Structure 1
Amino acid sequence: MHEFFINYRTQDGKEAARTFDAELSNRFGTDSVFRAQKSIAPGTKWVDMLVGGVRRCRVLLALIGTDWVDAPHQKRPGRRALTDPKDWVRREIEEAFAAGALVVPVLLGRQMAQLDPLRLPASLKPLADCQYERYTTRTAEADLTRLGDRLVRQVPDLASLDRRVSGAKAEAKQRPGSLETRTSRQSGGIGAVNGDVGSFVNEAHGPLHTGSGDQLNGPRINGDGTNYVAGDNRGGIRQRFGGSQRPGNDR
């Protein structure tokens, strides 16, 4: 299935179509873009390929140049090609509307005016109401990046094909300070993790204190006049309580 179908007139949109094909293929994969000259294999029925390609696409990009509306009919002098129901530029757009694809008019050049619905056949009048994008050779990279970003937001399924997003995620993982899940070979002690995570401990087998202040180990006896012993005590503990003796004890 082709996600994008590039619709254009040879007279004023051929070069732009190649650029769109190249950039969108680079970002979403070459199989995601249908362009007649590239996508129709020798010997196949090109009519079936065109109609099938349009009906299965998610987005049709109608590249509209200065001659798009007034392009002359090749076999009928004095008539516009767009007025002929058999005109393939017209038929592809009609098929896209009928199939429920997202149809995006792309105005080629800064001087290209918005479409006038009064100059369009009835079946194409909705095209004048579709929000358009603008493309110029001078700002080609920025224009196509913006278009791709917007289409990903409008057609969520495109996100899984978007190599730009995958590349950004991979780059973010390599930045200093980023936190990743890693397998540690440390058998003990305290190690530092990149970033503001703090400390981690692997296989601690004894008393541990990672904060501030004194560390107390071993048994502790609370009370007046007592001592506490930390560590392994091997001797006795002598305590003296001044000023008091038990009855019957003269020591």
Structure 2
Amino acid sequence: MHELFINYRTQDGKETAHRFDDELSKRFGTDSVFRAQKSIAPGTNYVDTLIQGVRRCRVLLALIGTSWLDAPDQKRPDRRALTNPGDWVRREIEEAFAAGVLVVPVLLGRHVEQLDPLRLPRSLKALAECQYERYAMRTGQADLARLGDRLVRQVPDLASLDRRGAEPKATSKIPSGATTIRNDQQSGGIGAVHGDVGSFINEAHGPLHTGTGSQINGPQINGDGTNHVARDNHGGIHQRFGDAKRPGTEK
């Protein structure tokens, strides 16, 4: 079912209708947007398709350009199209009001003024009282994004179709066998390590041992005493006292 119906007058809204269709279809899916030229299949009864399309949609977007209000009737150029009960722009909006569809006037351009109810047929006077949106080619992408955001908040069915959700947080995938070291702003101690690299020591402030034997925390003796620790020590500390023999002095 089409959630959004684009209502526009060919004389001043055709290109904009294409832009709305493209952008909104990207966000909500092409089947969610009804635009007559796209959505009515060849050979289909267009009258029934248009009426049913309006009645079944959730939102009708009435694109109102500079010529929308005073566009001449194609059959009788001496009168405005809106005064003709058979004008399709008028009929679609009337059907939307009758069906309880949310109608959103979209003013195209910065110089299009809000509608004057005195210049509208009685059946369309409510259109002048609907909160409108504004769209301009220069800020088109931002305007459509804002419109979409507001419609999502108003129409739950659109929220479920919205493809512009929060961007997923970046996650690091660790290849099999790779080594990753995490610190997490640790001060001192041994950090968390994944892989086969042993232990990662960050700002150690005391004796540490990462081998397989006993940890030796013996005093440091200079001059007449020396500590000897060989590889992985499994015993105690062997100390030798006396004058240290220098190379070449042994007898």
TM-score normalized with structure 2 length:
0.69
Superposition map of 1:1-251 within 5 A: 1-163=1-163, 165-166=164-165, 168-170=166-168, 173=169
In the aligned structure 2, how far is the partner of 1:159 from the partner of 1:65? 28
Amino acid at match of 2:54: V
Separation (CA, whole Å) in 2 of partners of 1:15 and 1:75: 23
1:8 & 1:156 partners in 2: Cα distance? 25
**What SS does structure 2 have at the residue aligned with 1:107?**
strand
The alpha carbon displacement at 1:169 in A equals 3.3
Q: Percent identity?
A: 76
**What is the match of residue 241 of structure 2?**
none
- In the alignment, the residues of structure 2 paired with residue 15 and residue 133 of structure 1 have an alpha-carbon distance, to the nearest angstrom, of 18
In the alignment, the residues of structure 1 paired with residue 30 and residue 142 of structure 2 have an alpha-carbon distance, to the nearest angstrom, of: 20
Report SS of the residue matched to 1:114: coil
RMSD after superposition: 3.8
The aligned amino acid for 1:58 is: R
Q: Structure 1: how far apart are the matches of 2:21 and 2:65?
A: 17
Shift of 1:192: 6.0
Specify the code of the residue in structure 2 equivalent to 1:28.
Answer: F
Q: CA deviation at 1:110?
A: 0.7
Query: Could you list the runs of 5+ residues in structure 2 that have no partner in the other structure?
Result: 193-251
Look up the match of 1:209.
none
The whole-number CA distance in structure 2 between the counterparts of 1:192 and 1:2 is 50
Question: Which amino acid in 1 is paired with 2:118?
Answer: L
DSSP 3-state at the match of 1:75: coil
Q: Which runs of 4+ in 1 moved over 3 A?
A: none
Which ranges of structure 1 fall in alignment gaps of 5 or more residues? 174-178, 186-190, 201-251
Structure with the higher helix share, 1 or 2: 1
Between the aligned partners of 1:132 and 1:27, the Cα distance in structure 2 is 21
**Aligned partners of 1:75 and 1:155: how far apart in 2?**
38
Q: Measure how far apart 1:77 and its partner are.
A: 3.1
**TM-score normalized by the length of structure 1:** 0.69
Name 2:233's counterpart in structure 1.
none
Whole-Å Cα distance in 1 between the matches of residues 32 and 10 of structure 2? Answer: 21
Distance 2:123 2:96 in 1: 11
SS in 2 for 1:112: coil
The one-letter code of the counterpart of 1:169 is: E
Opposite residue 115 of structure 1, the aligned amino acid is L
Q: Distance in 1 between matches of 2:182 and 2:43?
A: 64
Deviations 1:92-141 (A, max 9, x none): 00111111111000001111011000000011000000010111111111
* Alignment: residue pair count: 218
1:99 & 1:144 partners in 2: Cα distance? Answer: 25
- Quote the offset at 1:85 in angstroms: 1.1
